[in-house]
Chains A and B, each alone.
Chain A
């Protein structure tokens, strides 16, 4: 038990937590409750008056094939993004751990992509892989790979996943490097003496001991892929072609902001909220059990 601080003044503690509470209430609970409230309303086409319709919006959303498609797209997109960004970051971090000369420079350069705004990152990738002008797209085509993210849904998905993952690699890299440094060198040496070669040492010692870091990044990356990738999708594909890259967040935007279906859109955000809460809870409850902290 950590020692408890006792304030002689009854009001002071409340004043001290007030700013934090105010921010949370105004920027989180209030919009969230608004979304819940809106999800039970239906507006007329001109937005002049609205009608309380209970859970009708939810019924409509869940029976919409477009929405079910979006669920599937989101699942593929999130899992791929989280996996690719974490796998690449881990590989780079393991490599960076071995660099002796210019270690600081190498790490600094690795962190730069994190400073790039999502939409910019998306644009970069869009230009690079634009079928008609993109330099990398030309390279792909010269290798005999047909590449058209504007028409082919799979190509479009690969493009947004690449852009979203690329953006997150720096962040993951940073945590993996720190995690690797926290593993006592003697353990690696002991494993070497115990006859484990490098690959074996990685999978039996390093990787299990990185689990706390990996778990944390899994939560962060899932939330990132679900929410923070809107800018990338908006800039790169706009949800298309067709609806092949329309994630849940993007659908909330297109139904709400573009199509002005406020009630339906609000219902979707409530569902999204529930999904994220459930996912995080599951991750903490079940995955964390397999994690060994030190």
Chain B
């Protein structure tokens, strides 16, 4: 039950490397904020600063309205799930979960009750007497979650908690984390490089790049209105198709019936925002693109057509089984309201 506010937070390492270059985020109470970005973008450093594991070079981190810059991790009343779980290998699952409570002087019977309750919620009850090395990856992940939950802290911090699991388990745990977080109502910060995890979990999504926030907001808003070409190509799988405009000239084989913003340097559209046509399409507004299919990826429910155009390679998403074969020629139509425009610096132009 706490808000987390970051104000112009910076991290400069001893060698002079600036990992975080002034980040301000307000996370409302009970919200799940996901920090997403490529490796080296400063998201983990930022999380560790919230945890108190890294010093803050400048700016302030506040938890529940109180600046915690000089408060150690021990006193911040947070819980963290680490990428490698960081379970204490010499302790049984029960003791792993009870450790934090014991350190805070919780009465013995209450520890026992809370550990057993949490274990039941996470379906760990039968594993309480095992040691971490006797558990599978998924079970370890649950114990790490349990260790965080049992303490009932002000804030949960997750540092890529699912990256060591296989794809199926990751999907399951993703849903479970979301449900748990919602039912417990604990403010959370979640770091990941997986855009799918980011999209599905976040109440507040923060896309980071090079130590700065590229865009923050609701996941679907970001998906629909990426603030930059970086966000456009990072959020969404496959990413947004980007076609460079040389001057105002369109690539060969492209027809455009739309108002082009004067500063536009790049044009983008989502792979699913297209229609395929057999013949040249003149009637409607929008973009009409000539493409040659190079590869087809059938995923089952949908298929991805990797195609070459005069403006570079694009991906087209079509539902179900693809009719096209490699070598086929396509006409790709993009409605005018599905076009995204970006300027020379990669910023969105409306």
Contacts and interface: CB of A to CB of B under 8 A. Distances in A.
A195 B100 contact: yes
Contacts of B89: 187, 209, 292, 294
A190 B48 CA distance: 11
Contacts, number: 63
A190 B161 CA distance: 14
B90 A192 contact: no
B147 A194 contact: yes
Contacts of A200: 103
Is the interface on chain A under 10, 10 to 19, 20 to 34, or 35 or more residues? Answer: 20 to 34
A189 interface: yes
Interface in A191-205: 191-197, 200, 204-205
Contact of B103 (A194, A208, A209): A194
Given A186-B82, A187-B88, A209-B90, A194 B51 contact: no
B84 A193 contact: no
A184 interface: yes
Nearest to B157: A193
Nearest to A189: B53
Contacts of A195: 74, 100, 103-104
Interface in B83-130: 83-84, 86, 88-90, 99-100, 103-104
A191 B88 contact: yes
A76 to B, nearest CB: 32
A93 B31 CA distance: 43
B79 interface: yes
A205 B74 contact: no
A191 B53 CA distance: 11
A193 B74 contact: yes
Contacts of A186: 82-84, 86
B298 interface: no
A209 B50 CA distance: 28
Contacts of B73: 189, 192-193
B321 interface: no
A190 B133 contact: no
Contacts of A191: 88, 99
Nearest to A100: B14
Interface of B: 51-53, 72-74, 76, 78-80, 82-84, 86, 88-90, 99-100, 103-104, 131, 133, 147, 151
14 contacts: A184-B86, A186-B83, A189-B80, A192-B72, A193-B73, A193-B80, A194-B99, A194-B103, A194-B151, A196-B99, A211-B90, A292-B89, A292-B131, A294-B89
Q: What 9 A-B pairs have minimum CB-CB distances, sorted nearest first?
A: A194-B100, A195-B103, A186-B86, A190-B86, A292-B90, A208-B90, A192-B73, A196-B103, A186-B82
Interface of A: 184, 186-187, 189-197, 200, 204-205, 208-209, 211, 292, 294
